Amino acid sequence: MLKGKRIVCVLSTTLLLSTYSTHQTPFHNNAMQIAEKQVNAKEMVLKTDKFGLLINPMQEQYERDKIELEKKKGEELKLQKEKELEKQKKIEPQWQEFVLTFYSSMNSENGYGSITSQGKKLSRGGVANNVIPQNTQIYLERYGQVIVNDKGSNKHFAIDTRLDVFIEREYGESDREYSKRISKLGVQKVKGYIVK
């Protein structure tokens, strides 16, 4: 009987020791995690900069955030400048060269008398073109601002850079003098732009 008690005692001790070495309590796990965090925290605190000075992890994160913020501000500023340049391009006139010819109010040049294709009386500053929309204003060097209010022949005025400029008759001017004056104007090339 004593032998049986000894065997039970030895087995109990062996079981207790084997269980103790392999089994960890929840308290033991939490203690290990806290210890690992402290080691990691110490490693973070022990980081140094290029001069050998200790780096504060919070300061390091602040510096990274600051650099990222400056990068974003730089990109936003760049986009804003690009938008401003595009806006200026839209505001600045697009100069181009126009080829000008000239016409009179004589019936020989106007199929329906001295009226425009819109049915209005021909007037100073009016030009004919078949491509540019009616009532479009154009600035021409030496002539100032003109308005597209008439149409011409498709053979000559189906191009957006070709304009036929109406010239008014001077007081008391005969048909011959009027025609001769317009013929002297010939064909001219001038710079201009469409007014927005």
Residue 87 tokens read as 């806006």
Q: Which amino acid is at 76?
A: E
Over range 146-156, report the average pLDDT: 89
Distance, CA of 122 to CA of 152 (rounded, Å): 13
Residue 190 tokens read as 């001038």
Neighbours of 141 (CB within 10 A): 11
Question: 122 φ, ψ to 5°?
Answer: -60, 135
**Collapsing DSSP states into helix, strand and coil, what is residue 137?**
strand
pTM, 2 dp: 0.55
User: CA 115, 121, 123 angle in degrees (round to 5)?
Assistant: 110
pLDDT of residue 45: 47
Of 104, 99, 112, 101, whose CA–CA distance to 167 is shortest? 104
Over range 176-185, report the average pLDDT: 93
Residue 150 near residue 121 (C-beta atoms within 8 A): no
pLDDT of residue 4: 62
Name residue 138's beta-bridge partners: 146, 194
pLDDT in tens, 123-135: 999 999 999 999 9
pLDDT in tens, 53-110: 666 677 777 888 888 888 888 899 889 888 888 877 777 788 999 999 999 988 887 7
